[in-house]
Structure 1
């Protein structure tokens, strides 16, 4: 068993893409991150941690981490790889903010990291990955989808901050930079019913698909179907742009959103755990 780190994102992607594409929906974040590292390296303040574990030339684990973000784990074919990953990260990273991966893998890594470093951990969120190939007809809310423009910047900043606090229970950071990135790339969308009432963002690309996230409706506009109609319309827009699939993640603690997205046509592909490590 051998762990190999990569300095070059393109070389890393060329090595791991076939492994990740077997479960494209589960690994849409990793694939989108590879795309961003290759095509938009200016978005990253420091070099990422990119590694694989191999047995007899076959990949058994893929690991990625960018600054201040949780470690991203793939499905792991041989759990002995987890100890090798943890040892290497302990040597290079010292402390980690958290880990995200398929449920068994994420839990095993969190336990191993705790044994190695003494950092305690807690489950922050149980996630479910979904994939959509065709949008189903749903009851339409009033209004229409439109691309966000510079004139929406202030409202998007407020909504991004509210989304992060509500959905992730985390103090928002780099909000203005994130909003400006979406405005520059044309990936922020607003559902407008005379006034802006909901938002969703196209958050990354894979070879065959597009991610959907940052779905948020202010409390005063909820219970009117705006969010589901917004996501359905954005998903249809992305399919019409040529993507074969759309992907999104939901919080398993929120049964309403899980039901809504399945009504739109999103199908379950797998579950993940998001653990945070605590500084004792």
Structure 2
């Protein structure tokens, strides 16, 4: 078994691209991050350069696992055997800060836990669970059980300030960092990836969609301001955004939910989403 570590996005996509596309659901985050790096530049997530790696179960065999990291964010694991994740932890610990600084790890729960155990053994670092999520895949899209009034439309440049404010509110509530919210919003609007639900001509909820890559698109974020919740707007805008990307050719429509939020885990299942796997983000702390 062997890992190859790299600082080249081109090499990463050339070596691991086919593998990532072969499992677009479990590899959705890596696919979208690699695409954004290629489209917007290697500094789109921060000043420090990203790092990459791919794993072969046997010398000369096919790639069966991959990771990427865009500092200051932790590495993200693809689908991979737990043994590969544990081996990666040892390799990154050996490479040290000269290659990258590892302050956490994210991905499918089994691989992340294997990485975390090996990282703790190799470095003595403690670990805590930062995020517990569930990945859902759309089965048959159905209308929300209680459709709200209003309609769906794509966001336009005139919606920019509202979208930035809602993005910031979502990030604060979810305790998620994003280096440049205005840039992210501008890209979403320009690419037709920001969806609004309007009620009586007023935006009341929004949902983002990622580009269709390897037949996959991911919904997120989904946000309704606190004072407008309880009317079914999030379900409606998610269903509309899902239908939109299906119309663009997506064969896999995905989304993540916070496992601590029973409402979101319920409403998405009501419109046709089915669980794929659990995902975890661990934070590491020096002892």
Same fold (TM over 0.5): yes
Could you tell me how far 1:242 is from its partner in structure 2?
Answer: 1.5
Could you tell me how far 1:121 is from its partner in structure 2?
Answer: 2.2
Match of 1:210 among 204, 214, 217: 217
Tell me, yes or no, if the aligned pair for 1:131 and 1:267 is still in contact at 8 Å.
Answer: yes
Match of 1:63 among 64, 67, 70: 67
| Range 183-192 or range 34-43, more displaced | 34-43
Could you tell me how far 1:112 is from its partner in structure 2?
Answer: 2.6
Q: Which runs of 5+ in 2 are unaligned?
A: none
Tell me, yes or no, if the aligned pair for 2:212 and 2:248 is still in contact at 8 Å.
Answer: no
Q: Give the distance between the partners of 1:38 and 1:158, measured in 2 at CA.
A: 27
Could you tell me how far 1:217 is from its partner in structure 2?
Answer: 0.2
2:80 is the counterpart of 1:73: no
2:20 is the counterpart of 1:16: no
| Range 205-214 or range 59-68, more displaced | 59-68
Match of 1:49 among 41, 48, 51: 51
Q: SS state of the match for residue 207, structure 2?
A: strand
Q: Give the distance between the partners of 1:133 and 1:40, measured in 2 at CA.
A: 32
After superposition, what is the alpha-carbon deviation per residue over 1:193-223, rounded to whole angstroms, capped at 9, x for unaligned?
A: 1211001001343210111101000011100
Q: Which runs of 5+ in 1 are unaligned?
A: none
CA 1:26–1:186 in 2, change beyond 3 Å: closer, same or farther? Answer: same
Could you tell me how far 1:27 is from its partner in structure 2?
Answer: 0.9
2:118 is the counterpart of 1:112: yes
Count of residues paired in the alignment: 279
Tell me, yes or no, if the aligned pair for 2:217 and 2:254 is still in contact at 8 Å.
Answer: yes
Could you tell me how far 1:109 is from its partner in structure 2?
Answer: 1.6
Match of 2:284 among 252, 260, 277: 277
Q: Give the distance between the partners of 2:64 and 2:194, measured in 1 at CA.
A: 36
Q: Give the distance between the partners of 1:9 and 1:175, measured in 2 at CA.
A: 23
CA 1:85–1:192 in 2, change beyond 3 Å: closer, same or farther? Answer: farther
| Range 66-75 or range 193-202, more displaced | 66-75
Could you tell me how far 1:243 is from its partner in structure 2?
Answer: 1.4
